[in-house]
Amino acid sequence: MWAVPESTGMRKEIFLKIQSVNGFKDILPDSTARWRRVEEAARRVFARFGMREIRTPVLEKTELFVRSIGEATDVVEKEMYTFADKGISMRPEATASILRAFIEHGLHVRQPVHRLYTIGPMFRHERPQKGRLRQFHQLDAEIIGANEPYVDAELIAMGRMFLDELGLAASLEINSLGCHSCRPPYKAALVRFLEERADGLCGDCRRRLHANPLRALDCKNPGCRALVLEAPSLLDNLCPECGRHFQEVGEALDAMGIAFCVNRFMVRGLDYYTRTTFEFLTGDLGAQAAVGAGGRYDGLIEELGGPPLAGIGFAMGLERVLLLLEQKEKETGSPEEGMDLFLAAPGQEALVSCLTLAHFLRAKGMRVAMDYSGRGLKGQLKQAARSGARYTLIAGEEEWARGEAVLRDMSGGGQRPFSLAGGLEERYRRLAGLLQGAEDGPDENCTAPPCQG
């Protein structure tokens, strides 16, 4: 805010526009319907798998993320919004919070296996770009208390079914990160390999060489990429149990007809993963290729002070799902989102009769729009088109006096007379019938005068 100097004789304060914080986006009415459709698709599909919703706070003790995600990860090192003096952070992901709540409330005491999901905002201080925000939303699903490979396959299948439900294509890549017995010797071999070639690594990978050598495998730096092609593969060094687990996940996916490919360089950005990891990828979002990702985290619940239970989960990035859906609907059109009926009452006289009818129809569940300005027919029809209504019922003073309105099909299907005789219930019944069987086209015997506008 700044002020005109007082010497000018007039004191006028001019308020500068306050804008949203960079990377924090409003979701405007034009897109909320699409968001709802995505969330509803998730709830519908997840219910088929017995998932139950959990909601946790957006703030947690920083220690929770440091202990679960890991200190030497991008998320904890660079991306967290932390209130240092209070020791708390905005959640950068949901798994840690869900596990914290699971342990805190002793959910495992009631039943051995829990299937939980949540939908909500996450926060990471990253450079905002297409499909990458600082406040973004995740759809997060977790199966806790089961370690069978078929559970991995089932959870991956659920992610696939969610994307299918929205008609979105994405490829599936899987890998195994081994366990606490086969990963350490592999890590040591990888460190040796990287140390010998440290000059070719980017600064980040060199720095993390000892704390988190696996990250070099999925580093985006072209030099690192070329270098790790020759690196030893964890898949060749899995212990027999992890090898069997990985094989059975693949067989189960095959049995369900779910296509996938194995990507031995996929390590994921969070430290807690063990065994199966997976990503749903798309070529349609530029650099932000991962629509969703997840993996198994056996041992993590215990590390967070809980019982020794296994777990697996994934998170879909909803902004990326929305971008894909938007792209698809540009080609296929989006499902109807407008109003069922626009009630046009040219002039002031018929306003109350129309409002009464509109209120009755809305109470019956119809989506009805109206304009109360009393403007003429031409203006009313413009408003009707803007509302996206399928039909417009033109019922001005004259029509009410005559007992017959005009019903116009807004998709260019002509118009027909509509009797205003009978009570509200009778009018509703006939309008609902019309909307249901909307495909019967213009009435050939229409005798109503043509509308202007």
* Positions in the binding site for ligand ATP (CB under 6 A): 93, 124, 126, 131-133, 136, 138, 269, 288, 290-293, 315, 317, 319-320
Output the smallest distance, CB 448 to ligand ATP, in A: 53
The two tokens of residue 248 are 């059975």
Whole-angstrom distance, CA of residue 39 vs CA of residue 16 = 36
Output the smallest distance, CB 138 to ligand ATP, in A: 5
Whole-angstrom distance, CA of residue 99 vs CA of residue 94 = 9
Closer residue to ligand ATP, CB minimum distance, 269 or 306? 269
Output the smallest distance, CB 317 to ligand ATP, in A: 2
Output the smallest distance, CB 289 to ligand ATP, in A: 7
DSSP 108: G
Closer residue to ligand ATP, CB minimum distance, 142 or 319? 319
Whole-angstrom distance, CA of residue 277 vs CA of residue 223 = 25
Output the smallest distance, CB 159 to ligand ATP, in A: 11
Closer residue to ligand ATP, CB minimum distance, 170 or 234? 170
Q: What are phi and psi of 178, to 5 degrees?
A: 70, -165
Closer residue to ligand ATP, CB minimum distance, 292 or 346? 292
Output the smallest distance, CB 136 to ligand ATP, in A: 3
For 201-348, strand residue ranges (E) read 261-262, 274-281, 290-296, 311-317, 341-344
Task: State which residue has the least CB distance to ligand ATP.
Answer: 317
CA pseudo-torsion sign 397, 398, 400, 405: negative
Instruction: Please give the helix or strand (H or E) that residue 138 lies within, else none.
Output: strand 135-144
Closer residue to ligand ATP, CB minimum distance, 120 or 347? 120
Of 160, 155, 190, 156, nearest to 265 by C-alpha is 190
Closer residue to ligand ATP, CB minimum distance, 70 or 317? 317
Axis-axis angle for helices 95-104, 62-69 (nearest 10):
110
- Given a contact cutoff of 8 angstroms between Cβ atoms, the answer to whether 242 and 180 are in contact is no
Output the smallest distance, CB 369 to ligand ATP, in A: 35
Output the smallest distance, CB 291 to ligand ATP, in A: 5
Q: What are phi and psi of 120, to 5 degrees?
A: 180, 175
Output the smallest distance, CB 125 to ligand ATP, in A: 9
Closer residue to ligand ATP, CB minimum distance, 32 or 181? 32
Closer residue to ligand ATP, CB minimum distance, 146 or 291? 291
Closer residue to ligand ATP, CB minimum distance, 292 or 396? 292
Angle at 165 between CA 133 and CA 25, to 5 degrees: 20
What is the maximal distance between C-alpha atoms in the chain? 93
Closer residue to ligand ATP, CB minimum distance, 74 or 409? 74
Of 407, 415, 448, nearest to 431 by C-alpha is 407
Classify each residue of 107-138 as buried b or exposed e, where b means 16 or more C-beta atoms within 10 Å of its C-beta.
bbeeeeebbbbbbbebbbebeeeebbbbbbbb
Bridge partners (DSSP) listed for residue 117: 53, 141
Output the smallest distance, CB 270 to ligand ATP, in A: 6
